[in-house]
Structure 1
Amino acid sequence: MAKVIFLIGGNLGDREQILKDSANYLEKDIGKVNQCSSIYETEPWGFEHELNFLNQVLAIETKLSPLEVLERTQSIEKIMGRIRKKNRYSERTIDIDILFYDSQIYHSDHLEIPHPRIQERMFALMPMNEILPDLVHPILNKTINELFNECQDKLEVKRFV
């Protein structure tokens, strides 16, 4: 079994219910949720929008490969109403990012693990630091707590629930 760390978030619709529904889909389609952070409200990162995001980190045990996990997360996003736009950063009902897959380093045309911008994003680091502060980034060789303390991202991230 592999431990996969996900960041889920969105800023459209009933944000809190969409996070709950997404977590339920992830548990049904990928594996048992072993840990989940509090929900955090964050300003949009990389673009301007009047609605803030809700974000949460989940740790899930799975038998699936990284590409199978990606395939299932994209299917869940579609079911949950995600519309992909040409611009990488835009408003959305749900985004499910694979942050880590055990301590594996994985690169393909469609997937990069660990997620390449974790260390730049307080909205990912804060909920991760809540539940996995000692997890070591396999490329940067730093704990999540160290990355959290070094992060230069100044966007506001606050506990929602």
Structure 2
Amino acid sequence: MSGRAYLSLGSNVEPEKHLRAAIDALRARFGDVMLSPAYRTPAVGFDGPDFVNAAAIIDSDLEPQPLNDWLHALEDAHGRDRSGPRFSDRTLDIDIVLFDDRVLDGDGHLRIPRPELKHAFVLRPLADIAPDVVVPGSGRTLAQLWAVHPDRDTDLATCALGDA
């Protein structure tokens, strides 16, 4: 076993369909998946339909870079278009936010902890399912980070993903 990966999942193009399929693929490849509630949040960085975001925890037999490559292939299989602007509509977006207590910076585009952890749509779902996990470099748990987040009092709407 290589390690425990904490993932952020999002979609704003047929989000329920793509997120359910991604969760099924994660279960088929890695076994048990701990899944957060899904939240509907506004697009960040561009005008577009709301996103549905969730978090997942998997035990991975892959190191971070091969896992990231596997996740990119899963995104591509769901029609992810990387040719447009960085902030744009997404059929599927899955990022490794944390991987055990590792810190990776500058290894290609893979950065762990993921800088997007500062956004409520990444932090809130992770804090729901892993409140006591300490974010490397911060010395604080996900719950502590969420407790002081500027959006902590914002009511984020939950969204059902069916049997996911």
Could you list the per-position Cα deviations for residues 4-34 of structure 1 after superposition, in whole angstroms to 9, with x for gaps in the alignment?
0111111012x112101011122333x1233
2:27/2:33 contact within 8 Å kept: no
Aligned length: 157
- Give, in angstroms, the shift of residue 39 of structure 1: 1.1
Could you state the TM-score of these two structures normalised by the residue count of structure 1?
Answer: 0.90
1:34/1:60 contact within 8 Å kept: yes
Distance 1:92 1:61 in 2: 25
Within a 5 Å distance, the mapping from 1:1-161 to structure 2 comes to: 1=1, 2-13=3-14, 15-29=15-29, 31-49=30-48, 51-107=49-105, 108-118=107-117, 120-153=118-151, 157-161=156-160
1:32/1:62 contact within 8 Å kept: no
Structure 2, gaps ≥5 residues long: none
Distance 1:34 1:18 in 2: 16
Distance 2:72 2:12 in 1: 17
Tell me the SS of whatever aligns to 1:126. helix
Could you list the per-position Cα deviations for residues 75-119 of structure 1 after superposition, in whole angstroms to 9, with x for gaps in the alignment?
00000111013422111111001111111111212211110230x
Runs of 4+ in 1 over 4 A off after TM superposition: 153-156
Matched residue type, 1:34? V
2:26/2:33 contact within 8 Å kept: no
1:3/1:61 contact within 8 Å kept: yes
- The Cα RMSD (Å) is 1.6
1:39/1:159 contact within 8 Å kept: yes
1:43/1:157 contact within 8 Å kept: no
Tell me the SS of whatever aligns to 1:6. strand
1:43/1:156 contact within 8 Å kept: no
1:70/1:98 contact within 8 Å kept: yes
Tell me the SS of whatever aligns to 1:4. strand
User: Among the aligned pairs, what percent are the same residue?
Assistant: 29
Could you state the TM-score of these two structures normalised by the residue count of structure 2?
Answer: 0.89
1:42/1:156 contact within 8 Å kept: no
Q: 1:156 to 1:84 in 2, by over 3 A?
A: farther
